[in-house]
Structure 1
């Protein structure tokens, strides 16, 4: 089996031909003649042919070398074109990118990824709004919002990030050791349920699906907050049972800080989406961000 050709060896070959000799090529490429010679030999070995015929005075192309040279040039040109395309794409992503995201997911999962994204496109000016309140895309002049749930306003444009995400019921091992684990949704009436508030509404009706049937239970507890990150932290501290997006608690579940409960009952659907006010808001930066986050989330959930 032939070995894979290295692009730097191709560059030595093409430069040697264009410079008229190995020493001249080595000077142009700022490498030693010995390294240039080794690159040519490696390339010929990979291809299984003789590219250059060496004499005491000069190098000349062999018949195979003549045939191969235009393809080598084309490969190097394609590489340069690819690098230029990337540079152009980076140059296009410039200026402010105004984005809102939920508190728990934003702080603990998305923020490092957004830092990575901005490092890749340093001309972007990232402006983040971190809140569990539904952002006003028009009034707050946001480019996009990362949201849970299905859209109520059909005029908005939603790009899926984690379409199959659901809420899940969890508690810390320490809480389960003290109070036991509920065996049915109705048993939640005997547990301290940690709730969150959005606007003036306390989310105290938790829905579950089992064998195609949906049951909704009214829960209560001694704590509620308008910050979902705080609610999750209470749960990790063993202070009660929590019903949250699985994306929010997945790291805690994997680390053993939280345990999923009622495994036979699916929680409410909570798809994660990147939402824009209208199609004109789908700028190159927003589209690139969507692809970037979708890829990261797919790997995270795998």
Structure 2
């Protein structure tokens, strides 16, 4: 078991590129992680890390060994869960990344229900609109709008037909009027969302064979999808949001849809995960649960 723990610590330290980060994640001291790596290096007879005061990086041997360790630990996990199948509850820790708005207002409830069904599961959640940086953490699953061009990830479609819709609060519409055509958005306060430090100011629409691109503006913008939605609810302007994000607000009358005969740009909801030969039972159960939840929300 000690050797297995050392392998787990090595994988964690390699993923984080830091003994300190690995120690914090596992509630250990950095000295304990360093000692485990030294034991491992002494046992296999080659250095696994290049250490300096500024950075920690894998040697060529370390990179090769990391791949084998990850595969081996995955097989051990699968073997343990296979032994438990049928007479043990699903257990394990899952790291899941969620987008800001969908994560806070829908997915958290979905995950709480999943935990009620599978109390042996431990969830570690990261809620952020940006995917950059999250992949380095080797998350088990990321719920995202659109799939990034990364060959190391598998994209599983959840809501492929989802699109953006124009919405505003009744208060705003009473004060500023209701646009009947996307071109009229230039006369309104539009709530722009910042993506990779750039404002998403060009909104696109389709109606049959006709298409329109409108450059919008307004006094308020945010790099957080939930913040944009809350500004719209407060009557601060018109938002261009994923239909899933605002479905409950539209149904309750807190927001109203504008220009409904125009289709906004596609925003397919996907599950992203590292490419693996097989899925652990815990991860498979979570994927099936999320599929059911999204289907119900999109209905």
Q: So what's the TM-score if we normalise by structure 1? A: 0.67
Which string of whole-angstrom CA distances, capped at 9 and with x for unpartnered residues, describes residues 154-179 of structure 1? 44211121121110000111111111
Q: What is the alpha-carbon distance in structure 2 between the residues aligned to residue 288 and residue 277 of structure 1?
A: 16
Is 1:163 aligned to 2:160, yes or no?
yes
Q: What is the alpha-carbon distance in structure 2 between the residues aligned to residue 190 and residue 225 of structure 1?
A: 20
Is 1:114 aligned to 2:140, yes or no?
no
Counterpart in the other structure of 1:179: 176
Map 1:77-96 → 2, pairs under 5 A? 88=85, 91=88, 93-96=90-93
Q: What is the alpha-carbon distance in structure 2 between the residues aligned to residue 254 and residue 115 of structure 1?
A: 23
The structural deviation recorded for 1:214 is 2.6
Counterpart in the other structure of 2:235: 238
Computing the radius of gyration from Cα coordinates, the structure with the larger value is: 1
Deviates most, 194-203 or 263-272: 194-203
Deviates most, 258-267 or 118-127: 118-127
Is 1:197 aligned to 2:194, yes or no?
yes
The structural deviation recorded for 1:104 is 0.8
Counterpart in the other structure of 1:279: 276
Counterpart in the other structure of 1:28: none
Q: Secondary structure at the match of 2:136?
A: coil
Describe the shift of the 1:233–1:279 C-alpha distance in structure 2 as closer, same or farther (beyond 3 A).
Answer: same
Q: Secondary structure at the match of 2:179?
A: coil
Structure 1, unaligned stretches of length 5 or more? 1-84
Counterpart in the other structure of 1:250: 247
The structural deviation recorded for 1:187 is 0.9
Alpha-carbon RMSD: 2.0
Q: So what's the TM-score if we normalise by structure 2? A: 0.68
Match of 2:293 among 266, 291, 296: 296
Counterpart in the other structure of 1:41: none
Q: What is the alpha-carbon distance in structure 1 between the residues aligned to residue 149 and residue 290 of structure 2?
A: 23
Q: What is the alpha-carbon distance in structure 1 between the residues aligned to residue 176 and residue 152 of structure 2?
A: 46
Moved over 6 A (4+): none
Q: Secondary structure at the match of 1:170?
A: strand
Q: What is the alpha-carbon distance in structure 2 between the residues aligned to residue 246 and residue 150 of structure 1?
A: 18
Describe the shift of the 1:176–1:135 C-alpha distance in structure 2 as closer, same or farther (beyond 3 A).
Answer: same
Q: Secondary structure at the match of 1:134?
A: coil
Deviates most, 200-209 or 254-263: 200-209
Which string of whole-angstrom CA distances, capped at 9 and with x for unpartnered residues, describes residues 10-60 of structure 1? xxxxxxxxxxxxxxxxxxxxxxxxxxxxxxxxxxxxxxxxxxxxxxxxxxx
Counterpart in the other structure of 1:63: none
